[in-house]
Amino acid sequence: MKGRCEVERKKIFFAGPSVMPVEVLTEMSENLVDYHGQGLSMLEASHRGGMFEDMYDETLALIRQVMDIPDEYEVFFLGGGATLQFSMIPLNFLKKDGFADYADTGTWSGKAASDAKTIGTVRLAYDGASSHYTSMPDPAAFKPDSAASYLYICSNETVGGIEWPAYPETGNVPLIADMSSDFFSRPVRVKDFGMIYGGIQKNLGPAGATLLIIRKDLLESRNSGLPTYLDYGTHVSQKGLYNTPPVFAIWAVKLVLDWIVRNGGLAGMDEKARSKSSLLYDVIDNSGGFYRSPVDRRFRSRMNIVFRLATEELENELIAESKKLGMLGLKGHRSVGGLRASVYNALPEADVHALVDYMRDFQARKG
């Protein structure tokens, strides 16, 4: 394939939108104007036509295959970002006279809980405020109230850099997880969940779509009387094609899934994630305190490695220099400061080695 190795690529540590496999970008560019000789672009294709629908069906089948999703789950895409789900979930599943349990582990689960409060009663089954969102409950011991409509968790807190190492067992209470930032980065036992969803722009493609996986019996028990678009039933009854789907983003997901399959599937992604994140945590842990990880090590994210230096000046210096070396996105989220290296599936291990070398060199000069 032309172009693949000719471009000098930056090292892309952005938290989202984020790095995509260069093979996927190349394949998209080669088929952008003329999709596999069909004389039009996927960008121009009708979502009611064969060219899109063939690709769409393949994508849904690939998602089921890669994630090993049982038949009793519906799979579809929506626009509106993961953020739209913060209200759609309680609208559909928070029982009118009931309550929902939320584990508030940081920015994203906090936003979800706050939206749910505008719709119904929320019980914080875990409140991370006292630990400044640097820790999480022990998944083996964590239980929702048995009367809760569901338990909501965020699988990986992208801003705080903490991740559930395993998921709580919730019995009859449906477990709902936002997997936006660790989607498809490790095998997941789908049957333990009522619903899994995530924006695709971290591990699965460009911005513009959210992928939803919902168990059919949960769907059947949803609240009635919702506006058409906000009712999950609308989308599943139309195979996810009630309105115009994010065609371009879905095509990209298809190609990223092919890439995941070629690279060892979810077990392969997990192995890569562990080795890449360990490289960074090792530099931090072996820096004699020059670099510091603020998070409980039992819950360290394999995706977003958050770290601090002694002063903000030093942090800014490191970020400014890193840009000159072609490393992008190392500045921490504006709400927490510090540094953050996002090492999603598509980030080459070589880029992590480059960052590690640079961090060691920076410490040697400034430490």
Ligand X SMILES: *Cc1c(COP(=O)(O)O)cnc(C)c1O
Q: Which residues are catalytic?
A: 108, 178, 202
Please, what is the end-to-end C-alpha distance for the chain in angstroms?
Answer: 45
Residue placing its CB nearer to ligand X in the complex, 137 or 161? 161
CB of 197 to ligand X, least distance (A): 9
Tell me if 206 contacts ligand X by CB under 6 A: no
180 binding ligand X? (CB under 6 A): yes
Structure tokens at 303: 């995706």
* Cα–Cα distance measured from residue 32 to residue 289, given in angstroms and rounded to the nearest whole number: 49
What is the spatial distance between Cα 325 and Cα 331, in angstroms, rounded to a whole number?
Answer: 14
Q: Please tell me whether residue 345 binds ligand X under the rule CB under 6 A.
A: no
Tell me which residues in 54-113 interact with ligand X (CB under 6 A): 81-83, 108
Stretch that binds ligand X, among 143-151, 176-184, 219-227, 359-367 (CB under 6 A): 176-184
State the SS3 of 90-101.
HHHHCCCCCEEE
274 is in an annotated binding site: no
Determine how β-strand 175-178 pairs with β-strand 151-154. Answer: parallel
Q: Closest approach of Cβ 208 to ligand X, in Å?
A: 9
Least CB distance from residue 158 to ligand X, whole Å?
3
Q: Out of 199, 240, 329, 338, which residue is the one contacting ligand X (CB under 6 A)?
A: 199
Six-digit token string for 26: 């190349």
Q: Exposed (0-12), middle (13-18) or buried (19+): which is 130, by Cβ within 10 Å? A: exposed
- Nearest approach, Cβ of residue 198 and ligand X (Å): 7
* 185 contributes a contact to ligand X by CB under 6 A: no
Q: Which CB sits closer to ligand X, 198 or 290?
A: 198
Q: Does 158 bind ligand X (CB under 6 A)?
A: yes
Read off the tokens for 94. Answer: 């928070």
Number of CB atoms found within 10 A of residue 236's CB? 17
Q: Which range touches ligand X (CB under 6 A), out of 54-62, 175-183, 309-317, 354-362?
A: 175-183
**Sites for ligand X among residues 6-45 (CB under 6 A):** 16
Say if residue 234 carries a ligand binding annotation: no
Question: Which DSSP string do the residues of 6-33 spell out, in sequence order?
Answer: TS---EE--SSS----HHHHHHHHHHSS
**Binding residue for ligand X (CB under 6 A) from 45, 88, 154, 196?**
154
Nearest-CB residue to ligand X?
A: 81
Among 163, 178, 231, 258, binds ligand X (CB under 6 A): 178
Cα(298)–Cα(301) distance, integer angstroms = 9
Asked, as a colleague might, if the bond just before 17 is cis with ω within 30 of 0, I would say yes
Q: What token pair was written down for 185? A: 């980065």
CA distance 16 to 208: 12
Report in angstroms how near the CB of residue 236 gets to ligand X at its nearest.
21
List the binding residues for L-glutamate.
Answer: 48
Q: List residues near ligand X by CB under 6 A.
A: 16, 81-83, 108, 154, 158, 178, 180-181, 199, 202
